Structure formats: C-alpha cells, structure tokens
Structure 1
Amino acid sequence: MKTLLVLALLALALIAVQRGFLSFSAQSVTDYADTGPPMDIRRVLSGPMISEGVIFGPTGRVTTRFVARMEGSWTGNSGTLSEHFIYDNGTDQRRLWHLKVNGDGSFVATADDIIGTGRGEQAGAVAHLTYRIRLPESAGGHVLDVTDWLYLMDNGTVMNRSEMRKFGIRVAELIATMRPDTEARMSPAPVGTEAMEPAQ
C-alpha cells in the first residue's frame, strides 16, 4: 500500500514538472528574437485602437467578454495608453498606463491600480510585461500577479494573452486582439485643432 502511495505521488510530481515546463511562464522573449514584424510598443501602441477579448476563470470557462477603446500617445520614449473597457454585464473600467522605453528596448509601466512598477521586454515580434494589479472592490479587491504576452501579427493586429495568478495559483486567463481603429484614425480633426502644435 505504501509503495502504491509513493508511486502515485511520484507520478503527480512528474506531471506537475511537465506542466510547469510547458506552462505559460516557460517561454522567454529571446525565444522570439528571430521573428517579425519587429515589435516596438512606441509604434504598435500608438493612436486609437480597438480591443476585443474574453476572460476565462480557473475552470477554463469564459467568465466575461469585453470590448475596449484604447488610445496611445508618445513623446520620444515616454508615452501613455488609455483604456476604456465595456464588459458584457454592462460595467465599464478605465485605466491610464504610463510607459517608458529604455535604451535596450526594455520598458516600465505604471497605472493607478498597478502595485509598484510593471517590467517589460521586447524581442522580435513579441513584448512581455509582468506586474501586480489590485482588482476593484466590486471584483473582490484581490491582488493578482499578471503576465502579459503581446504577439504582433503581419497585419498590425496584436494578439494579447495574459495569465493572472494569486498565491501562485492560476485564477484567470485573458485572450484579446488589439488592432488599429482605422475609422477613428481617418476621422477629421475637430474644427480649430488642425494648426495646433504638440506641447514641447
């Protein structure tokens, strides 16, 4: 009986190791160094964008869907990314990211609901960002560890895959597209703003 128990525990440990090796966090940006088109968040996360996605709960079932409007603006290596999410239950959420790209292509990110500073890297067609986020009180106020992966497609669309963990346990996963809002980009500027120069 004891032998069977030991064998069962060894089998479970082996499965855990295999899953860990093949898990979401096993990849590295260097794995994508030779891929293209080249990711540069200053270019990719710029101007008006639309995002559409789903969030999966711990059982793998979809818990919510959303559509978001985004707007990226850059001055040199510093920029902002505003996000306005509309969820399928009618609630909305806003976030304003502050981003800064370093000379080596790495970047940092902050926002009001982010604890500390997010750290990111870029290589090939991929960007990777890790951070801690505090959920709104309406969602329980939990603090989650988040890993974002952004994959740039040939047509300019970004595939966003995010994993959220609490105490090391995966509690949610997000999959979304982020694409340029071509209609907003083609809209004429409001009357009286055509001659405005950007602030120095």
Structure 2
Amino acid sequence: MRKLLFATNNAHKLAEVRAELGDAWQLVTPRDCGVTEEIPETQPTLEGNASQKARYLYDRTGMDCFADDTGLEVEALGGAPGVHSARYATDGHDFAANNRLLLRNLAGCGNRRARFRTVISLILGSEEHLFEGVVEGHIIEHETGDEGFGYDPLFVPDGCDRTFAQMTTAEKNATSHRARAVRKLAGYLLAMEK
C-alpha cells in the first residue's frame, strides 16, 4: 500500500478522503511525519495556496502528497471573500464574525449568487496535478441550520431548498465542492493503480 501525505490534521477531512480512496493508499498527516509547524498559505489564489502547501510538504518530506484550499466566491463582491474566506473578518478562523461581515457587505444587494470552490494540488514524484470542485448557489439573508461550519448556514446550493448547515454530513458530502474535488483526485489515483 502506497503512502500519501495529506496536508491536514482535520479528522473530518481525513475521513472524507479515506472513504473516497478506499484501501489503495494509506493516508498520513503532517503530524504523522513530524511536521508540526504551521504550513504556509500566503498566495493570492486558491490554486496558489494549495500548491504552496503541497510543495512545502513535498520539500520537507519527499513524500507524494496533496493539499487543498477552499473559498466562497460571491459574485456581487467581485469574488470575495475567495482566498481570504477563513480570515475574512479577522486574522483567526472566526466563523461568526465572517458571516456577520458577509451579510453586512451584501445588505440591500439583489444579486446574492455565490459558489464554493475547492482546489487540490497533488504532487506525485515531484509532478503537480490540480483538481477542482465547484458548487453554485446563493447566500440567504440570515443564518439557518446548526450543522457544518464556516459559511454553511448562509449558503444554499442550486437545486436545494436548505443551507449546507441544514444538511446531514452525508447529504453535504454527496454534493459539496470538496467532495467533488476529492472524487476527481481519487479517480486519478485509482486509475494510476490499474
């Protein structure tokens, strides 16, 4: 079984990717490999951040690895918060403050179209491959639902009448941007094994 380093210590993300990959690859975390420092993500795009994180781990460990970055892109805000989604209102991951700022910035705006986008950078033998997952939808006017995290209580995917935060984890994972990107990654990796 080949080892693959995933740039996360988030148990939920790890489980989601493991479910898609099955038994073909053994996923390990940076902590498993002795990388305990904060992995840099200072690029101006989701693609840039995903690449930077994956390259950082590859350079540190020499292992095949992948990293992801996700952002909420709101049409009326010129694609913001985008790459700054996690730190939209503050330097920390303050979901409540981010949601308040987003609603304030969209106050009185008729166009509430938005999309969640995830980009994964995979480095195999020093060669990079990018995978993208997108979910189109819109931002509602007040938070609804208790599941998920981040902007989930404000985002309703196209074709649904509920926010991501009103869905079970399984329902969200069936359609989410991250799941779509991970399925592309898994498809590529599994095809390589044949």
**TM-score, normalised with respect to structure 1:** 0.27
**TM-score, normalised with respect to structure 2:** 0.28
Structure ranking higher in strand proportion: 1
Structure ranking higher in helix proportion: 2
* Larger-gyration structure (1/2): 1
